[in-house]
Amino acid sequence: MEPNGILPLWKEPGMTSHDCVFRLRKILRTKKVGHTGTLDPQVDGVLPICLGRSTKVAEYITDQGKTYEAEVLIGASTETEDAEGAVVEQDLSDKMITRKQLEEVLQSLTGDIEQIPPMYSAVKVNGRKLYEYARKGESVERPVRTVHIDSIELLDEADTWEGQNIRFRIRIRCGKGTYIRTLAVQIGEALGYPAHMSQLTRTQSGSFTKEQCVTLAEVEEIAQNGDIGSILQPLAYGLSAFPFEEITPDLLFGIKNGQVLEAHPVLKTEPFVVFTYHGKPAALYKRHPEKPGKMKPEKMFGFPPTDEV
């Protein structure tokens, strides 16, 4: 029986997100495997993987907030904005940054901020990914994007940082589409120096935390013991950001057939509502974009027996 559920994977450095999907397809002998937001090869951290029927909720996990722990290096900028790229600007002057200065800069970059995606990124311009332009030495105008930073917390306890190169660690809680390496550059710009992100770990993705995660080696061992279900979260876990409503008898026929219905009251404030049947997600509904007071199905999950994930 093919696995169904969400696997909280700890991605190790040196692998792409696609490498992880490829390995899991072989380990679990299933084709229905999807990740929930790319992590760069050198980055480690939480990467929820959707299996079987749960691939239908991958996009909603991707859209949820993330938490990262990063090291920022002040004194040099790179072409990739992280430690992988060649240095493009260096400032070897003796520097001194106070905790007050740094905390003021971090506060100024909290909330809705504008970012220009790195040239070495997968953002598409005119149908091509930016890194494709970068690798050919071509320049192209990059789109300015607004992203949301919930908070930036300084993890180091020092009162001052001194030297030619200054390093410090921060914890960032942010929304979809935030580039932490670009944020590192922006911190440097606010302090008046070139900078880049020297290390990054994702410690949380949506509802999934580091403590829940397993490595690929651990997945392989668990799979060999025939106990893969013990580490999977149900499909419902990937929808936990939305309100859940059990289907009442009067709505059963309409929802089962994906009909346009009178809007549920929670849709006045929420983007989606998850309708459950015997406690299991059956359909995801949203406000109808053209019919005020109505709702329409966004995604149907079916009406599984109550003992299925």
> Which residues participate in catalysis according to the annotation?
40
What is the DSSP secondary-structure string of 68-87? EEEEEEESEEETTSBTTSPE
Q: Whose CA is closest to 93, among 198, 191, 197?
A: 191
Angstrom CA distances, 161 to 103, 170, 218, 309, stand at: 13, 14, 40, 51
The DSSP 8-state label assigned to residue 1 in this structure reads -
- Structural tokens at position 66: 């993330």
Burial zone of 269 (CB within 10 Å; 0-12 exposed, 13-18 middle, 19+ buried): exposed
Amino acid at 186: Q
Q: Is the dihedral of CA 68, 121, 198, 212 positive or negative?
A: positive
